[in-house]
Amino acid sequence: MSISVATKSGPTPPQDALAQDFVQFAVDCGVLRFGEFKIKSGRISPYFFNAGLFDDGAKLGRLAQFYAQRLLQSGIEFDMIFGPAYKGIPLGAALAVELARLGRNVPFAYNRKEVKAHGEGGTLVGAPLKGRVLIVDDVMSAGTAVRESIAIIRNAGATAHAVVIALDRQEKATEDGLDVAHSAVQYVKNQLGLQVCSIAKLADLMQYLEQHSAGGSAIDHQRVLIYRQRYGVEEG
């Protein structure tokens, strides 16, 4: 399910209840934090999302529920799940378990970073890659993991069909150290031709901060707003 994103002078977008619940969950788990963080692009971000802190069974199970709910809402069709190493491996596995619990049992595979020379060998583990493959990851910063996943999937004779992520930062990507007009998500959609859905977006995070404006949240909201005005992209 996609939601509209307001321009700097436009209307407030409709609230996405699932996204708001997810943002609250991520804050409660310490996965979503506010302050000053140097991110992969080299920018200093006023917020940071660390999916590695979904670090116990209850948190991972709840996270998988969010992924599954968003996928069901999106209407995206797929035949199997692929979790790119490393963070995508537990995310994809947890999602596969949750979908099976909901009555949809789909194959799951993942890759290794290193080629295994003994046993089954190779870099792929799990079900054979075939049909329309859904890639599962946490946050798409530069689209590198997705491009690597597409190459693996195509080399196996399958089709990279869609991507589901936890958070869409909705910010300009960088190429050769320079900002570009599109985000990594937009690049994957428009240039690579894959469907992309996210549990939540930066716009949802902004709404969350607006609704929790007491205390330090007002300062966090202002910092995220300034960051978004500088690096944000319009949806479309």
Q: Annotated active-site positions, please?
A: 116, 118
First to last CA, the chain: 14
| Residue appearing with tokens 């407030």 | 12
Angle subtended at Cα 93 by Cα 163 and Cα 103, rounded to the nearest 5 degrees: 90
SS3 41: coil
SS3 89: helix
How many other C-beta atoms can be found within 10 angstroms of the C-beta atom of residue 150? 22
Sign of CA dihedral 152, 38, 182, 180: negative
Q: What are the Cα distances from residue 170, in Å, to 141, 206, 211?
A: 10, 12, 20
Contact (CB, 8 A) for 201 and 4: no
Cα–Cα distance, 47 to 227 (Å, whole number): 10
Cα–Cα distance, 206 to 20 (Å, whole number): 10
